[in-house]
Amino acid sequence: MSDAYALGQYQLTPGCFDELVESNGQPRPEGAPVTRFIVNKGEEELQRRQQQLDATIRAMGVSFTVYSDSQNIDRSWPLDVIPRTISSSEWQRTSAGLKQRLRALNLFINDLYNDQKVLKDGIVPADLILNSKNFLAPCKGIQPPHGVWAHICGTDLVRDENGTFLVLEDNLRVPSGVSYMLENRTVMKRVFPELFAESTILPVDDYPYQLWRTLASLSPRKDVTPVVVLLTPGIYNSAYFEHSFLAQQMGCYLAENSDLYVGSDDKVYLRTLRGPLQVDVIYRRIDDIFIDPEVFRKDSVLGIKGLIRAWKAGNVGLANAPGSGVADDKVVYAYVPKLIEYYLGEKPLIDNVETYLCMDDKEREYVLANLDKLVVKPANESGGYGIMIGPRASDEERAKMADAIRSNPRNFIAQPTLALSTAPTLCDGVLEPRHLDLRPFILQGEELYCTTGGLSRVALRKGSLVVNSSQGGGSKDTWIVSDEG
């Protein structure tokens, strides 16, 4: 009996690449140990392991917050028992493409706030940038350490029907989710020790150290061990679990704005029981417009007055730098392949998903005529909000989107409805295919680093293409399996 036949009722989704099973029904080589486990142990044992996994997550306190009816509801993190497997040779190519992309994006951002050569050369339309709400005029003329603005990037990848990775979007402001990638691995090691013994699964647990190194490279003081602070909005933020987790793992300070102040010397200080402590680097998890009421929103109760002044004076490093969100825009995303060629003189190693810009008259005309076939996205939303999946939308929803596009075409892009890859997922005790994406994390400071895999997010609802946890999605541990030799 073949492994695939022994998977029982598991049915491949027509037209979709499956992460574990090939189109002929055979297991993919990198997933063979997982397939053998399913074959030998059966779905009953999988359910028992899922229960063990869920209990471990609850005991560890791994949670996320959902906003509902003006309430903050903490929920246990949803992790599926069956891992996603990717070969190390494929990941090596993918990682190189992700690093290439971040290098180009940082050169682009640095150019925008200084010479603006890319605009003068017509590579990107000037009005697209200069009229963007994410282009922050107070940041003009600043040269951050290493010329890097976006130090932590979460790039969302999807596979097409052929299994080719494509970039869906770049997250350059305050990308989240890496703590869940790390906790997923911790939990899976406890639940599947035999699979880790059988396979060479590349580790992910060096991320906190690599993040600390990236942040430390921004320190203005080179003669002391940098004082690094993670700035959080507080316990009611949906990503607070991640803030506290990363601060603990890096061994750095976790602080709210009331814990910090800018002195008369334009340096940032942390209030401690032993007196003020000079801060060298701030990893901020607060949106740009809230970080300094002296420069941006005057009514912000989350920011630190004078922070931009201290940053401009070169007395503190900020990650991600204010203004980096100018490249975290789904319209700018469409130009990234051109930016890679413009700044690096290289062809993109990972392609974009085909994208239509509604601000272009011809492309807008096509989008409006094909709303039933396309996915339409607002340029600056996140978390899956504001997206319309045309084939699954009602006539009323499509008409409403058409009106929104006509009234503000700059704010929308459209893409083909992709046949996202699937992976076997335990749903009510039965293995069923569910669509998923992948968010690797790329760091750039003095050096470049890419995680070994990333956070695989799964649409737990049957047939759904929306993977965000805020929209009912879950996750899988991502195993990069060595295929060398």
Given a cut of 70, whether residue 2 has pLDDT beyond it is no
Segment 385-413, tens digit of pLDDT: 788 988 989 999 999 999 999 999 999 99
Q: What's the CA gap between 159 and 168, in Å, rounded?
A: 10
Domains of the chain, with CATH numbers? 354-416 (3.30.1490.270)
Tokens 């003329």 identify what position? 141
Around Cβ 453, how many Cβ atoms within 10 Å? 29
User: What percent of the chain has pLDDT above 90?
Assistant: 79
Segment 341-385, tens digit of pLDDT: 999 999 999 999 999 999 999 999 999 999 999 999 998 766 567
Q: What is the DSSP letter of 374?
A: E
What is the rounded average pLDDT of the residues 26-42? Answer: 90
- Model confidence, pTM: 0.93
pLDDT of residue 52: 94
Given a cut of 50, whether residue 69 has pLDDT beyond it is no
What is the rounded average pLDDT of the residues 442-447? Answer: 97
Around Cβ 354, how many Cβ atoms within 10 Å? 11
Closest CA to 163 of 56, 22, 48, 305: 22
Instruction: Give 230's Cβ-side CA count (13 Å radius).
Output: 23
Segment 70-122, tens digit of pLDDT: 555 667 888 999 999 999 999 999 999 999 999 999 999 999 999 999 999 99
pLDDT of residue 470: 66
What is the rounded average pLDDT of the residues 407-436? Answer: 92
Segment 463-475, tens digit of pLDDT: 888 787 767 789 9
